[in-house]
Amino acid sequence: MAKEIGVDLGTANVLIYVDGEGIILNEPSVVAIDTKTEKILAVGTEAYQMVGRTPGNIRAVRPLKDGVISDFDMTEAMLSRFMSKLNVKGVMSRPNIMVCAPTNITSIERKAIIGAAEKSGGGKVYLEYEPKVAAVGAGLDIFSPIASMVIDMGGGTTDIAVLSLGDIVTSESIRIAGDKMNVDISNMVKNDHGLMIGERTSEQIKIQIGTATPLDEPEEMEVRGRDSFTGMPRTVTLNANEVEEAMHDTLTQIVTAAHAVLARIQPELASDIIDRGIVLTGGGALLRGVDKLIAQHLGVPVMISEKPLDNVAKGAGMLLAHMHAN
């Protein structure tokens, strides 16, 4: 019997969940290619280590942008490599796959995602919306008549949805998420400290000292980069409140989008959400204080799911198994 596989084809990471085995792959969505021969040199973690450090003829590419495929061939090659790694673990050669996508994708983008999954070795391929599978992965009962609300903060997109009776009642997908926060941080370091830093360094700053709310005693971190004036290597010290200020507008846009979703639902569903609260999933949920920030602005309890990074892939695998069982 074919295995059920859930794939979170994210802008920042690809996660693969196999029914009965859990998450068996979690690697960055990066492909390294030789520009002279167009040959793929590495994918995933190995390729990510090359970001910002490659010689002229090697290019590290992110084949997904804002939650959708920007380079079809690269996405297909990356997925194929990841799927071939799974075969070692005894997964059947043509598994059923459920892939996830943001709620606002076009029909062309839908076809591209399904096509890439089919070509990478999938049997039957299904596509489901990210906030719906994230809710399932977070342990919410989306099939009950009581409403659930999920904010899935990924790398390229933030997907917000209210679910009831197994489907999305209303949703919003904005192309503002973790990657945008990384850009905010690198711009702040450049403008305020005259230091050029790379994408990986920005992400490290966000993970180590990033905060969604100002702190009384902000942590500090030493950051190395290139002086934008002299071109020489230099070190500066950043504090968490500088990082909060840099990301403030981006976080405000996410809160505003969540507010817009709440404003569109029926009063009965709104009262369910006041009772049950909002669940945060995705890598963005790990940003310190983001739950407090959202709760403060929306006046609704906010919880972070148990393993926010795994929810989409796990939910996809569980939903696929549920579909076939019924």
Q: Is 157 annotated as a binding residue?
A: yes
- CA 242 to centroid of chain Cα atoms: 24
Q: 6 by DSSP, 3-state: which?
A: strand
Q: From the CB of residue 143, how many other CB atoms can be counted at a distance below 10 Å? A: 12
On whether 130 is known to bind a ligand per the annotation, the reply is: no
State yes or no: 11 annotated in a binding site: yes
Report which of 319, 25, 279, 14 is spatially closest to residue 152, judged by C-alpha positions. Answer: 279
Pair 257, 172: CB distance under 8 Å: yes
Instruction: Tell me if 289 is assigned to a ligand binding site.
Output: no
Is 206 within any annotated ligand binding site?
yes
Q: Is 245 annotated as a binding residue?
A: no
137 marked among binding-site residues: no
- Does 155 count as an annotated binding residue? yes
Q: Is 13 annotated as a binding residue?
A: yes
Phi, psi of 110 (to 5 degrees): -60, -50
In terms of phi and psi (left: phi > 0; alpha: psi -120 to 50; beta: otherwise), the region of 67 is left
* Total number of residues shown for the chain: 326
State yes or no: 204 annotated in a binding site: yes
Q: In what order do the strands lie in the sheet with 4-9?
A: 22-28, 13-18, 4-9, 96-101, 125-129
Residue 65 assigned ligand-binding role: no
286 is in an annotated binding site: yes
| 194 assigned binding-site residue | no
What is the side-by-side strand order in the sheet with 39-43? 39-43, 31-34, 58-61
Please enumerate, by residue number, every residue annotated as part of a binding site for ATP.
11-13, 155-157, 203-206, 283-286
Annotated binding-site residue numbers: 11-13, 155-157, 203-206, 283-286
